Chain A
Amino acid sequence: MFERRLYFHVDWLLVAAVLLLAGIGLAMIYSTTYVRLPDGSGRPGREFFTQMYAMGIGGIALVVCLMIDYRKLAEHSLLVYGGLIAALLVVLVAGDSAGGAQRWINVGRFKFQPSEFGRITLALILAMYFGENRRGARTTGDLMIAGMFAIVPFLLIAKQPDLGTAATLIPVAFGIAYLAGLRLRLIGIALGIAILLAPIAWNFALKDYQKSRIVIFLDPEQDPRGAGYQPIQARVTVGSGGLKGKGFMQGTQGQYKFLPVAHNDFIFSVLAEEHGFLGVLAALGLYLFVILRALEAARMAKDRIGAYLVGGLICGFAFQVIYNITMSAGLAPVKGLTLPLMSYGGSSMIATLAAFGLILNVRMRRFTN
């Protein structure tokens, strides 16, 4: 089914940028999880190898997502969606828990996190729904239905609880709705409702640790040893890097564990510490390139399904990147939100590469019928 001529339309620049970012991430994971033994020797940490395997599997996922025509996938999106909901229900009932959250399904030796695939699934089904719909996202009824598609997985993921991952569904849904012609007035109304609901959410929906994260974010010095520790240490990590950084594996904040979960949520802080402002600019440039290049693919897309699909995926991606980097500089409340392509996390890496498979897919098939 893969026609040879399509090979020439693969966006190799985007592939290169994506792989480069994943490679930088892998190097940072190597640096932060390197195990130093008391006799002075050392070895790479377990996380480094896990991430490498995940990249391999992600590469396969990317190729698979690239080869199947995205329209075919979109046609079967309801099935995919059903599969996701089923998986999320399994997690809720029989999932594996760690750190007070139940997020994983054990598949043999591997732990699989279905919520990471929520964005792709949601993007597919919404792109399909709005792309096939001649009216676009104009009527309230359409929006209600689209909203339902988004809210079900959102609630299931938030219940795990994993508010961070659940929140990444919102930009996907809004991105597609916006591209499909959602009137700005409606966005305004939605924002208004959100603001009105905020106090209610504060009192009833948010857990104490979530509340304290927000309060502490606003004033980290209030509790520098407790909840304010992470934002402060994140700033120290980033700021101490300076222009050129302390050098690969020479950071102190990440290496000596002053910054928690350095290989995961705060991987960008470690990059900033060890490679300085120049490293930050390089990584920011690569991410910006990837996002703008993907948006270009959306513009070139042959049909609205393709444009919406790419748009939704990239809005989710961009939101996650911007939020995580802001957080890694200690400028946003700490949430369990990883940096796509760089943070440690198998499911996240596979899902992200699969999403880029879809983006490449749309661009590649812009001339086909």
Chain B
Amino acid sequence: MPDDRRSLTMRLSVVQYVVAVLFSLLAIAFWVFQIASHEKFLQMAENNHMRRLPLPAPRGVLFDRNGTVLVENQNNFNIALVREQTKDLDRTLHILATATGVDEAQLRDTVNRKRREPSYRPIVLIENASPEQLAAFLARQWELPGIIQQSVPARRYPPTALAAHLFGYVGEVTEAQLSRPEYQGVESGAVVGQAGVEQAYNRYLMGADGDKFVVVNSLGREIRLHRQELPKEGRRVQLTIDADMQKAAEDGFRHFGYNGAAVVMDPRSGEVLTLVSLPAYDPNKFALGIDRATWTALNTDQLKPLQNRALQGRYSPGSTFKIVIAAAALEEGVVTPDYTVFCPGGATFFGRFFQCHEKGGHGSVDMRHAIEKSCNVYFYTLGNMLGIDRIHKWASALGLADKTGIDIPNEIQSIMPSTEWKRARTGEKWYAGETISVSIGQGQVTTTPLSLATMMMTVANGGTRFTPHVLKAVDEGAGWKAIPAPPPQSTVKMKDSTIKALHDGLWMVINAAGTGGRGRIAGRDVSGKTGTAQVISLTGAKVAKGKIDVRDHGWFVFFAPRDNPELAGVVFAEHSEHGYLAAPIAKHVIETYYAKEGKPLPVLQKAPVPASVVAGNAPATPPSQR
């Protein structure tokens, strides 16, 4: 059967060729997957078995100007459950609940909510456990298989909410922030500074998070560590703040029973030594993510604890504004320091009678005595001579018309009226009569405590409006590197005679027959000025009585010593009714500053003895305690 044989051979060849072709196609297919599309599939395989776990970097530690630690990091502890390691879940939960005092039903609820998660994944039962809870758990740990403690890095702020508004707080980065260039490279979910220094210098303070890559199997269980990059801690940052003075200021407010704000600066550089806003919040509450109830409570509190009064509160400057009028009048050459006005207890301008606070009148006063006695009539007269626009010019030069430019976010601007300002705002012209109220810091002018401190600094140093700043040095890893101070906002060269007259008058306020006697410190030549900011007009006060606190605010602006000042600042005591009641707080801060020269820090007496208030407009009443 040769025919059969040939047919068989032929058919076997067909099978051979078919198989060979199919194998070639297979080889091509594998070439496409393994060579041509290798990268893509390799990436997909990596995504399958690699899990990235972020290792959060601790934020940089904050130091004060003397090297005292202000803000550091700590580990908070969670107590968590790993179900696959437990034998008797009910018993475990019962023991844990008894030991830590947590509601057992609540624990069970937490476990039930997460029961669909893989049993090797820890379930957090008690977040941020207290030391007592932790100790109780550790004592009974042998009875609690599967219960573990996890440590979570968190920011630790000083107790008593020291400088809370200055430091700010941290929180998860928002969507809006992520789209801004300064947050480039920050990942969603990262914790960034959300206020104060934490926000302003987030770029230094925020470290570089590390990564931990683990290999997981198809069930998601970690099999081994692939590689890890340890987190880099944020830069250490030194502030210009003096912790002792900061504390002294806050102690002062508490001691005398006021809320308010205080700013103390070095008038030779603009370094901020103290920045207080009270009441404060506890930034530690934000460190692990704030709960909704606390957040709502903070936001609806009538006392506005979240507001940084030092740079976000605007109040009438009152008599402290007379310093601006005096400087403007002298520099504009409208008057000389010897210019004398007779004060009969009031004066009429544009058909309206304006009172002096001294009913009987101050008699004949020159510039120095007008400042000392805070004579309204003298400054009505000067203000009227200057006109609003020249006042505005000098308020601007002294820092009351613009933002101060401090390196803390969300500063608001003081309001200093001018003809242009009024036209832009209301479309109306400025009436010269309105200038009279402005001359004694009433009417439309309002200032932030920080801008008023800037004014005092500029007057103290003779015309250089330094930019207030809180950053002193940064340690980028190679030791402290001083950060140069920002350039001054503006400089005017004030006449020596002007400076002399102003400094003399302000010295007399405290050291002679003025209103600031409570700020006097022997040998320190403290100079300053008190002021009262009306909360509400006299008629309005009647209406609002009982609903809101309508008592006036007290101001005390100061510098020290009179010659070559080293300190300049402001104390704003909310509802203290009188400016001279703010002065002791400043005194305590200044004494603390001078105690640096080897002496122990001053201690506030339990029952403060009011410093003798000499004459002036100050009735000798004890400070109002609220």
Contacts and interface: CB of A to CB of B under 8 A. Distances in A.
A349 interface: no
A326 interface: yes
B42 A287 contact: no
Contact of B48 (A175, A236, A239, A281): A236
Contacts of A181: 4, 7, 11
B15 A311 contact: yes
Given A238-B34, A239-B38, A329-B29, A288 B20 contact: yes
Interface string B13-33: 001100110110011011101
Interface residues of B, number: 36
B16 A256 contact: no
A36 B12 CA distance: 48
A252 B215 contact: yes
B548 interface: no
A263 to B, nearest CB: 15
A60 interface: no
Contacts of B20: 288, 292
B476 to A, nearest CB: 40
Contacts of A277: 30-31, 34-35
Given A252-B215, A258-B218, A331-B29, A242 B8 contact: no
Nearest to B41: A239
A238 B30 CA distance: 8
Interface in A278-331: 280-281, 284, 287-288, 291-292, 295, 298-299, 304, 307, 311, 314-315, 318, 322, 325-326, 329, 331
A272 interface: yes
A322 B219 CA distance: 31
A326 B33 CA distance: 12
A307 B10 CA distance: 13
A252 B37 CA distance: 18
B30 A280 contact: yes
B226 to A, nearest CB: 10
A257 B220 CA distance: 11
B22 A322 contact: yes
A240 B223 contact: no
Interface residues on A, range: 35 or more
B45 to A, nearest CB: 4
Contacts of A241: 34, 38
Nearest to A292: B16
Contact of B49 (A258, A272, A295): A258
Chain A contact residues: helix, strand, loop or mixed: helix
A59 interface: no
A279 to B, nearest CB: 10
A315 B16 CA distance: 10
Contact of A240 (B15, B30, B31, B41): B41
Nearest to A182: B11
A236 B45 contact: yes
Contact of A238 (B15, B41, B49): B41
Chain B contact residues: helix, strand, loop or mixed: helix
B22 to A, nearest CB: 5
Contacts of A236: 41, 44-45, 48
A181 to B, nearest CB: 6
A96 to B, nearest CB: 28
A178 interface: yes
A160 interface: no
B216 interface: yes
B40 interface: yes
Contacts of A178: 11, 15
A64 B216 CA distance: 47
Nearest to B217: A256
B16 A242 contact: no
Nearest to A281: B27
Contacts of B106: none
Contact of B30 (A233, A272, A295, A318): A272
A280 B34 contact: yes
B12 A238 contact: no
**Candidate in A236, A292, A304, A318 with the most chain B CB atoms within 10 angstroms:** A236
A239 B40 contact: yes
B12 A295 contact: yes
B9 interface: yes
B297 to A, nearest CB: 44
A179 interface: yes
Contact of B218 (A256, A276, A292): A256
A253 interface: yes
Contact of B23 (A233, A287, A314): A287
A136 B1 CA distance: 11
A235 interface: yes
Contact of A311 (B12, B23, B46, B215): B12
A256 B30 contact: no
17 contacts: A178-B15, A236-B41, A238-B30, A239-B33, A239-B37, A241-B34, A241-B38, A243-B34, A253-B45, A258-B45, A272-B34, A277-B30, A277-B35, A280-B30, A299-B9, A311-B15, A322-B23
Given A240-B41, A280-B27, 4 more contacts: A181-B11, A272-B34, A288-B19, A299-B12
Top 4 A-B pairs, shortest CB-CB distance = A239-B41, A240-B45, A256-B217, A239-B33
Interface of A: 36, 136, 175, 178-179, 181, 233, 235-243, 252-253, 256-258, 272, 276-277, 280-281, 284, 287-288, 291-292, 295, 298-299, 304, 307, 311, 314-315, 318, 322, 325-326, 329, 331
